[in-house]
Amino acid sequence: MTPDAPAPRRRGRPPRTAEATGPGARTRILEAARTEFAEHGYDRTSMRGIARAAGVDAALVHHYFGTKDEVFAAAIEVSFEPALVIPAVLGGAADGLGERLARYFIAVWENPATRAPLLAILRSALTHETAAELLRGFVLRRLLERIAAELDVPDPTFRAELAASHLVGIAILRYVIRAEPLASADPERIIEMVAPTLQRYLTAP
């Protein structure tokens, strides 16, 4: 992930400079795609809108990614990179696993830069079957299997998904719907309450 500075917007068709077509363009397109999907959801995001936000020609977006589905898949893959380094979370002492996972998850969602793409994925997957399918098959399964591989419990993938479901629900109530009192709760209090739940799912026999 290369967090770029917010791309300057141009009116009309951008000039075919090195900036608009060079190697940075692909990264800028992905950044723009994440923002567009986050703000507008899957349905209302267009290739043209992404191109405009990235300051490139729409043809370049098609050149790099082909279809909207493919931009979406690439954007969610990049967005999940922090999640896919999760073995670092899994790698410590077993009895601290629940807390480390809760803390890691809350940190990712408290940070607007990492929250935005996850929000984009969630919103899109909830309202568009293609996006749900991409999330389901492509990312979620890989992520859950990676976690499951580290667990020493019966049905580790089911256990990992139960833990994930709690975290997804917290993200939705706290960051998306912003329902009180969870929305304003101290992150440490959430971690304290949720850690034992995750710990049980991931390590209890």
Which residues of the shown chain bind its own copies in the complex (CB under 8 A)? 41, 43-44, 122-123, 125-127, 132, 135-136, 140-141, 144, 155, 157-159, 161-162, 164-170, 172-174, 176-182, 185, 189-190, 193-194, 196-197, 200-201
- C-beta of 154: minimal distance to its own copies in Å? 11
Cβ of residue 12: shortest distance to its own copies, in angstroms?
26
Minimum distance from residue 33 beta carbon to its own copies (Å):
18
Least separation, in Å, of the C-beta of 166 and its own copies?
4
Name the residue nearer to its own copies (CB basis): 85 or 193. 193
Could you tell me if 62 and 100 are in contact, meaning their C-beta atoms sit under 8 angstroms apart? Answer: no
Question: In the complex with its own copies, which residue's Cβ is closer, 61 or 160?
Answer: 160
